[in-house]
A = this chain, B = another copy of it.
Amino acid sequence: MDRSRPIGVFDSGVGGLTVVRALMERLPLEGIVYFGDTARVPYGIKSVATIEHFTAQITEFLLRQDVKMLIVACNTMAAVAAQVVRERAGTIPVIDVIEAGARAAVGTALAAGIGVIGTPTTINSNAYARRIHELEPGARVYSQACPLFVPLVEEGWLDHPVTRMTAQEYLRPVLAEEIGSLVLGCTHYPLLKPLLKEVAGPAVRLVDSATTTAELAAATLQALDLASVRPQRPEYRFVVTDVPLRFQTIGERFLGRSFGPVERVDW
């Protein structure tokens, strides 16, 4: 396969840009095509059948862009529809945020318990707990849905008393279990890292699935001899399903830099 082909990254909206940011830092030679389904966001409250249908559509779009690897940067899609992506991808490698987060959690905190926070659909799917138990059968996993974190991040209240009070309430039952690590099982949550670190305290290590996904992507490209070797500046494309205005405004906070042009597909 041509190693200069881009990596396809997709999400239900802007959240996956935290993964893109981590990829840009970890793999600066790789081109990226990002797909954000902004006309149909959020997925976290939708049914499995609907999410599978949307995920299949996006996968086929990215395969047509001739990507060399697919990254499911949306925890909800990874939780309920990763199989749909793998079936369609054939020999193209597929990485997802849950696999990456589960591996990193198991690597860090075997003795203590592992906390997992995410959207209601991600948590109710039990995908993290299942994967962590496969990797480490003795692990104690404590999960908590945090439905207000995404709207709080999108409101920009990253360090606000309301967000702190909400985090204290959501994390109380998980922290009561003496966890050693807390998996941020939603791509919006890395923006809350400083606040969550404060609320969780110094004994709890935060596992950020954006950086762990970039690590897993790097290792996989290496193993398959697919890493780009071109020294020139790679191309980044951003494709969304709704008009890009809001995506650009909010997205820059997630990406940590400004965008070039954003394309729109109309389904």
Question: Which A residues are closer than 8 A to B by beta carbons?
Answer: 39-42, 45-47, 49-50, 147-148, 150-152, 154-155, 157, 161-162, 165-166, 169, 242-243, 245-246
Are B243 and A50 in contact, with the CB atoms below 8 A? yes
Contacts of A150 in B (CB 8 A): 151
Are B162 and A242 in contact, with the CB atoms below 8 A? no
Closest 6 CB pairs of A and B: A47-B243, A151-B151, A162-B165, A47-B242, A162-B166, A39-B50
Contacts of A242 in B (CB 8 A): 46-47, 50
Contacts of A246 in B (CB 8 A): 45, 47
* Closest-CB distance, A40 to chain B (whole angstroms): 6
Known: A39-B50, A40-B40, A162-B166. 17 other contacts (CB 8 A): A39-B46, A41-B45, A45-B246, A47-B242, A47-B245, A49-B243, A50-B242, A147-B151, A147-B154, A148-B152, A148-B157, A150-B151, A161-B165, A162-B162, A162-B165, A162-B169, A165-B165
Chain B: CB-nearest residue to A152: B148
Contacts of A148 in B (CB 8 A): 148, 151-152, 155, 157, 162
Contacts of A39 in B (CB 8 A): 40, 46-47, 50
* Closest-CB distance, A149 to chain B (whole angstroms): 10
Q: How far is B147's CA from A30's CA once the two chains are assembled, in angstroms?
A: 36
Contacts of A166 in B (CB 8 A): 162
* Closest-CB distance, A232 to chain B (whole angstroms): 35
Q: How far is B155's CA from A34's CA once the two chains are assembled, in angstroms?
A: 31
* Closest-CB distance, A141 to chain B (whole angstroms): 23
20 A-B pairs in the complex with CB atoms less than 8 angstroms apart? A39-B46, A39-B50, A42-B42, A45-B246, A47-B245, A49-B243, A50-B242, A50-B243, A147-B155, A148-B148, A148-B151, A148-B152, A148-B157, A150-B151, A151-B151, A161-B165, A162-B162, A162-B165, A162-B166, A162-B169
